[in-house]
Amino acid sequence: MTNGTARVAMISGANRGIGAAIARQLAATGWQLSLGVRDPSRMTASGAELVQRFDALDGTEAEWVDATMARFGRIDAVINNAGMMIAKSVIEADDDDLMTLFRVNVQSPLRLVRAAWPHLAASGAGRVITVASLSGKRVKSAKSSLYAVTKFAAVALGHAIRQSGWEMGIRSTVLCPGFVATDMARGLTTFPAEAMTQPEDLARIVSLVLDLPNTASVAELAINAILEESF
């Protein structure tokens, strides 16, 4: 808690998978939530949170921040979870494919953090979590290579935010999971879902990172369900 009231977290892509699990975890630990989703009509809101239509391709990040401030009067954390994959190699993909992925995976998270920046700074313990991928640390296949280009950029973005906000008490952490049991991962591999990292696992990690003091900041976490040479 800060200033005697519940902290407020903005979570993009909160309607399913990792984002929904993070929302459930934070709600259970006393956070107030501003949930950015593409289709609010599909959300079952309790009334205790704000559900805002948000599409990373629309450029409405500032509007969502304004709505969050109007509802809660503060923003303590931004969780950039919304993401997109186009399963093409860098040779197969055209410029539109690259720019679409870049807008969703890099540009929109940056715009959201920029819009929320003064409010994160005002808290004295602002937090930014970027859900990237192990594809932002290595390129495993041609079909994931275009996605990897943007996730490498997302990892760099998280570290750039960390450098920019340190003196204001803003701490930035990048999460780099491998296969997580979500709809996207199930469509990419025959690896059994029950053996993948579960969304709830990542949600617990997010909760832990958000609760760490400014003096125990974690820059990056690589999380995997299988053994790899480097991860």
pLDDT at residue 2 in the model: 41
So what's the pLDDT on residue 45? 61
- For residue 116 the two structure tokens come to 């929320």
| Secondary structure letter of residue 218 according to DSSP | -
Q: What pLDDT score was predicted for residue 1? A: 36
CATH of 8-85+106-131+151-223, one of 3.40.50.720, 1.10.10.10, 3.30.2420.10, 3.40.190.10: 3.40.50.720
**Identity of residue 18:** I
Residues known to be catalytic: 147
The region of weakest confidence among 3-12, 17-26, 150-159 is 3-12
- What average pLDDT does range 59-74 have in this prediction? 97
CA distance linking residue 201 with residue 107, whole number of Å: 27
Q: What are the extents of the domains in the chain?
A: 8-85+106-131+151-223
**pLDDT surpasses 70 at 159:** yes
- Closest Cα partner for 159 from 92, 106, 227? 106
Task: Tell me what pLDDT residue 187 has.
Answer: 67
* Least confident interval from 69-73, 85-89, 173-177, 181-185: 181-185
What backbone torsions phi and psi does residue 89 show, to the nearest 5 degrees?
Answer: -75, 165
Position 119 pLDDT exceeds 50: yes
Q: What is the pLDDT of residues 166-205, one digit of tens each?
A: 999 999 999 999 999 987 766 677 788 899 999 999 999 9
pLDDT > 70: what percent of the chain?
A: 95
